[in-house]
Structure 1
């Protein structure tokens, strides 16, 4: 087996053979992003209120910690949700989508954090180009998905797809 065979999973779903995994994916991703923005905004608001109160109680010392605590809370949100066994943020869970690795590595907290960081960098630099990638790649992957080696899929039909693909591999 060559290194290319071990790096790319050949059983990745194809939109032509499993269209149910990709139906409405971009709209679902966009809606999940908005839901997650609301959740992250609420989290930041709560942390800021607690930090301001703590700042008054510590004569301003806690205000300096907000510079580190707020970004860390966003990183922890993505690491805890995307890096969990559900492989989805709360918004992604609500929209029935899941993050799947494409290069054979497990989706752990670190890969989830890297995925989120690359997402925010590419969206911050040029969100229209990242969106165009999703419109023109066969699996609707955005720039950060291609860089990190991930794929977004619909969760509910995914189990049926994997069962079918593994059943066809069976020698029985």
Structure 2
């Protein structure tokens, strides 16, 4: 394991899958489960808003149902805010990623920024819409388990330090 993968010194690649395999052990499956957890976390407030609008529509004799037209745009804004605050936050991980013990970093080991986090999410959804199977298949053929949008913006998902310590105890 390298001495300081998260140091502030710029390096072209902070995470080497050959010399530091513990950073990538189980990352793909954990990333998938984290995505599902995050989808639930983002969807619950939207579903609750939909329920409130539905009831409000009955109370206003149908006029409140026009608020359903705001659910789509608000959902996009909410998802981007969630990504910017969590993935672009101090831990460089969404709540689902934290639960699964992974985090997203820039290739040089630097933490994510809120802007880069939002760009990552937007590129993920665009790439998924256009290249559906390629987004996931690409990760099977590279050592760092990077998805298509990770290559574009120069990021990598790795196990966090707590998970690496846990993995090293079993070796």
Partner-residue secondary structure (3-state), 1:87: coil
Gaps of 5+ in 2: 1-9, 166-171
Q: Which of residues 136, 139, 143 in structure 1 aligns to 2:141?
A: 136
- State the distance in 2 between where 1:22 and 1:119 align: 20
Please report the RMSD computed on the Cα atoms of aligned residues, expressed in angstroms. Answer: 2.4
Give 2:122's aligned residue: 117
Give 1:170's aligned residue: none
Q: C-alpha deviations, 1:23-79, integer Å up to 9, x for none?
A: 011111111111112222212201222334455667345333223212111111111
- State the distance in 2 between where 1:85 and 1:51 align: 35
Partner-residue secondary structure (3-state), 1:15: coil
How many pairs are equivalent?
153
Q: Tell whether 2:86 aligns with 1:75.
A: no
Q: 1:21–1:154: 8 Å Cα contact kept in structure 2?
A: yes
- State the distance in 1 between where 2:14 and 2:53 align: 45
Q: Which of residues 154, 157, 161 in structure 2 aligns to 1:149?
A: 154
Query: Residues 53 and 83 from structure 1, CA distance in 2 versus in 1: closer, same or farther, beyond 3 angstroms?
Result: farther
Query: Residues 85 and 154 from structure 1, CA distance in 2 versus in 1: closer, same or farther, beyond 3 angstroms?
Result: same
- State the distance in 2 between where 1:140 and 1:93 align: 18
Q: 1:78–1:116: 8 Å Cα contact kept in structure 2?
A: yes
Q: 2:46–2:71: 8 Å Cα contact kept in structure 1?
A: no
TM-score normalised by length of structure 2: 0.78
Q: Which of residues 69, 90, 93 in structure 2 aligns to 1:85?
A: 90
Partner-residue secondary structure (3-state), 1:141: coil
Partner-residue secondary structure (3-state), 2:157: strand
Q: 1:55–1:63: 8 Å Cα contact kept in structure 2?
A: no
* 84-93 or 43-52: bigger deviation: 43-52
Q: Which of residues 17, 20, 25 in structure 2 aligns to 1:18?
A: 20
Q: Which of residues 22, 27, 30 in structure 1 aligns to 2:29?
A: 27
- State the distance in 1 between where 2:163 and 2:137 align: 25
